[in-house]
Amino acid sequence: MSIAADKLAAAIQERFATALNVDTAFGEVTVEVAAADLLPTCTALRDEPVFAFEELIDVCGVDYLTFGKAEWETSSATGSGFSRGVDPSAMTTAEVADSYRFAVVYHLLSVSNNQRLRIKTYLSEEEPIVDSVVELWSSANWYEREAFDLFGIMFRNHPDLRRLLTDYGFIGHPFRKDFPLIGNVQMRYDAEKRRVVYEPVSIEPRTLVPKVIRKDQQDKMATQGGE
């Protein structure tokens, strides 16, 4: 475990009594804060010399709607062996709480101290709103717009919060776990109207089951290859 990361984690725990959790794993520090405390916490992390996180590297959203549930549990396939389930005892309080569905993750870099930091804040499904950090790091502008576009997360006081990646008039947020994989509409060019038109989706949704290559098949393939 990194000594520098341990020192950073200790300094954060001492400085921020409002931090929900400070964790060090794989030489990286992650701090969880309440949405109401995000802006003052980030301000201190940027301005105080002991931290000096001058740069914001990334902002991304997370949807915990199906967190800890098996993805391959269908009528024709078992979830055993393909489950992404987790041990509930290892989950943080915020992840277990039913009132939290989304998270916003911030990746910070201190050039002065040669350190990195990850910040996570959790938001409810009913009010996925958090303060914008554009006033602290201008690079957050498009990152926050991306999280708004794909997850529907709102950033309070953002100077220009509008869609960034999806098409004009797009409905919904495609990175949400409950967004249909086939989408809601399809588009094509209409030669008669001489423009792009939108229509209801014509393809049928289907469940993808992972392909299993059994040992006897591997042996047969190896034998054929040797011949």
- Decide: 146 and 164 in contact? Cβ < 8 Å: yes
Tokens matching residue 92: 């943080």
227 residues of the chain, pLDDT tens digit each: 588 999 999 999 999 999 999 999 988 999 999 999 999 999 999 999 999 999 999 999 999 998 877 655 555 555 554 444 444 445 454 444 456 899 999 999 999 999 999 999 999 999 999 999 999 999 999 999 999 999 999 999 999 999 999 887 788 999 999 998 888 888 889 999 999 888 888 887 766 666 665 666 556 656 665 55
Cα angle for residues 184, 185, 186 (degrees, 5° grid): 140
Q: Where are the domains of the chain?
A: 3-166
The Cα–Cα gap between 62 and 106 comes to 11
Model-level pTM? 0.77
Token pair for 74: 């269908």
Q: For domain 3-166, which CATH number applies: 3.40.50.1980, 3.30.43.10, 1.10.260.40, 3.30.460.80?
A: 3.30.460.80
- The full length of the chain comes to 227
C-alpha distances (whole Å) from 15 to each of 171, 182, 201 are 43, 47, 53
Cα separation, 221 vs 143, in Å, equals: 47
Query: Reduced to 3 states, what is the DSSP secondary structure of residue 93?
Result: helix
